[in-house]
Amino acid sequence: MALPSASLARRCFIAGNWKMNKTVADSLTLVRELRNAISQVRDRVEVAIAPPFTALHPVARALEDSNIALAGQNCHASDSGAFTGEIAAPMLKELGCSYVILGHSERRQFFGETDAGVNRKTAAVLKAGMLPIICVGETLEEREGGKTLSVVETQVKGCLQGFAAAEGAKFVIAYEPVWAIGTGKVATTRQAQEVHAHIRALLTGIWNADTAQQIRIQYGGSVKPDNAAELLAQTDIDGALVGGASLKAADFSAIVKAKG
């Protein structure tokens, strides 16, 4: 019997990044709608949502016995300590998180997050028993300056430095061109696939081909129900990190169901 191809072996992963939106009451309404909308989607697609910290605990309870995983939007690199206003990875784990989004471009742009910082946070997330969704992506200026692949290369190498292949195989990378986030300007499938293939080649160099073939690379940036299927059909696009469209159950569930 033929072995499944490497791309078939990677389970599509759709994650919703709610950012700084939704009170607890609003979060619970959205979760109820989502549970109904995607209850039939079992094996083909993995689904996670990242509500704001304040809603994680009630949302975790509302997700019990569902097929939706929970993710944090950020964490601190230390397990505990005098870091006013910060949240540690073990705290997210305790609330039921399986994933933590790290290095989102809004964190990089507004909160000074660096590749070295993401690298340390990745170690904290693993130590706490969760998995990272590591975000990379170029700005419009960098793309127009022909620097996309080199910028992404620096970010990928900086964030992933020092991890063993066995750890890396479970990481999720999200390629999110900054100019496509929240702007309605989605990258063309060709632009996205080119960078995804480049990232996979980088992962082969960092670890090895087997590991690189296991790692899921999500695309993020204005993913909507009407463009999701085409993006998800690309060889190296293994899912999506969805912002705006994850705030509406109908839109997010349509994206979850878009993988053919």
Q: Contact between 182 and ligand PGA (CB under 6 A)? A: yes
Cβ within 8 Å of residue 51, ≥6 positions away: 18, 22, 27, 59, 70
Which segment (6-14, 65-73, 151-159, 175-183) binds ligand PGA by CB under 6 A?
Answer: 175-183
Which residue, 172 or 207, has its beta carbon nearer to ligand PGA? Answer: 172
Upper half-sphere CA count for residue 122 (Cβ side, 13 Å): 28
Closest approach, Cβ 176 to ligand PGA, in A, equals 6
Q: Applying CB under 6 A, which of residues 12, 100, 181, 232 lies at the interface with ligand PGA?
A: 181
Instruction: Say whether 104 is catalytic.
Output: yes
Quick check: helix, strand or coil at residue 172?
Answer: strand
* Cβ contact 81:123 at 8 Å: no
CA angle 178, 67, 11 (to 5 degrees): 55
Q: Should residue 242 be labelled a site residue for ligand PGA when binding is judged by CB under 6 A?
A: yes
User: Smallest gap, in angstroms, from Cβ of residue 106 to ligand PGA?
Assistant: 7
241 binds ligand PGA (CB under 6 A): yes
User: What is the three-class DSSP state of 189?
Assistant: helix
Q: Of residues 69-88, which lie at the interface with ligand PGA (CB under 6 A)?
A: none
Among 222, 227, 234, 253, binds ligand PGA (CB under 6 A): 222
Task: Report the C-alpha gap between 5 and 174 in whole angstroms.
Answer: 22
Is residue 230 part of the annotated active site? The answer reads no
Least distance to ligand PGA from the beta carbon of 184, Å?
8
243 is a site residue for ligand PGA (CB under 6 A): yes
Residue 138 is a binding residue for ligand PGA (CB under 6 A): no
Beta-strand ranges (E) seen in the chain are: 12-17, 45-50, 68-72, 97-102, 131-136, 172-175, 216-220, 239-242
Other CB atoms within 10 A of residue 79 CB = 12
By beta-carbon proximity to ligand PGA, the closer residue of 51 and 220 is 220
Tokens representing 1 are 């019997």
DSSP conformation class of 2? P
Closer by beta carbon to ligand PGA, 132 or else 221: 221
223 binds ligand PGA (CB under 6 A): yes
Kindly name the residue from 104, 113, 142, 198 that is annotated as catalytic.
104
148 binds ligand PGA (CB under 6 A): no
Least distance (Å) from ligand PGA to the CB of residue 97?
A: 17
Which position among 17, 119, 211, 227 is part of the footprint of ligand PGA (CB under 6 A)? 17
Q: Of 39, 40, 43, 60, which is closest to residue 51 (Cα–Cα)?
A: 60
CB burial readout 162-172, b (16+ within 10 A) else e: ebeeebbbebb
Catalytic residue list: 104, 176
Tell me which residues touch ligand PGA (CB under 6 A): 17, 176, 181-182, 220-223, 241-245
